[in-house]
Structure 1
C-alpha cells in the first residue's frame, strides 16, 4: 500500500513540475509549452484524475493535449516554437564556445528531437 502511495506521489510531483515548466513556457519563448503540458497530463492521469480532467478542459492547454491524445499531432505553432528554442539553445552553446564534443552531442540530440517533432502530424488526418 505504501509503495502505491509513493508511486502516486511521484507521478503527482512530476505532473506539477511539468505543468510549472509549461506555464513558464507560455511567457518565456525559449521554453516550449506543449510537450510539458502533455507530460503533465500523462502524469496526472496516473495520480490525480481531477487535475487531469482540469487540464483536458483548460482553454489554453486542453486542445494541444487532445490533439496529441487523439491524433498524435503537434500544432504547427508548437512545432515552430520548439524548433526555434532548439536553434536558440544551440546558438547559445556556440556563443559560449563550448567544447566540440559537447556541440556535437547537443547537435545530434537536437537534430533527432527536432526531426521527430516536425514529422508529427499537425492536426487530425483527413
Structure 2
C-alpha cells in the first residue's frame, strides 16, 4: 500500500466498478454486523470489522480511512493491523461460528469433494486465527 499525505496507508482499489460496488456493499454489511456484535455477545465484532476494512481497502479509500480512524470502531482494526493481536473473545467466536456454519454446510452438501474443501478451508482458517497474537479482553 502506498503512503497517503496523512501518513496512513492508502489502499489500492479495484478497477472494476461492479467489483467495487459489491465490496462496498459487503463492507457496510460487515460494519453493521460488527456494530451489532458489540452489543450482542454471540456475534463477533473484530472479524466483521476486519472484513469491512479489507473490502473498503479494495473499493473505497474514503470508507477505509473512515473505518480505521473511527473513534469507536477503529481500535479493533488498528490493534490487528499494528500487530497487537485479536481479542480472545473474537478468536473464540470467529472459530466457533465458522465451524458451526461449515458443519451445517457439510450436512447440506452431498458432494464429498465440496465437504473436503470446506473442511480443509475451516482447518486452515482456524490455524491462521490461532496463530495470531491474542490480546487482552476489551
Instruction: Provide TM-score, normalisation by structure 2.
Output: 0.63
Return the alpha-carbon distance in structure 2 between the equivalents of residues 87 and 96 of structure 1.
14
Map 1:22-41 → 2, pairs under 5 A: 22-24=31-33, 26=36, 32-41=44-53
Deviations 1:72-93 (A, max 9, x none): 6222111111111121013213
Deviations 1:55-86 (A, max 9, x none): 22241x22211111111622211111111112
Tell me whether 1:99 sits opposite 2:111 in the alignment: yes
Contact kept? 1:30, 1:84, Cα under 8 Å: no
Tell me whether 1:73 sits opposite 2:82 in the alignment: no
Tell me whether 1:89 sits opposite 2:101 in the alignment: yes
Q: Structure 1 pair 70/11, CA: closer, same or farther in 2 (3 Å)?
A: farther
Unpaired runs of 5+ in structure 1?
A: none
Q: Structure 1 pair 11/97, CA: closer, same or farther in 2 (3 Å)?
A: closer
Return the alpha-carbon distance in structure 2 between the equivalents of residues 89 and 66 of structure 1.
27
Q: Kindly tell me the number of residue pairs found equivalent between the two proteins.
A: 118
RMSD: 3.3
Return the alpha-carbon distance in structure 1 between the equivalents of residues 22 and 102 of structure 2.
29
Unpaired runs of 5+ in structure 2?
A: 1-12
Q: Between Structure 1 and Structure 2, which shows a larger proportion of strand residues?
A: 2
Contact kept? 1:76, 1:122, Cα under 8 Å: yes
Tell me whether 1:19 sits opposite 2:28 in the alignment: yes
Which structure carries more relative contact order (alpha carbon 8 Å, separation 6+)?
1
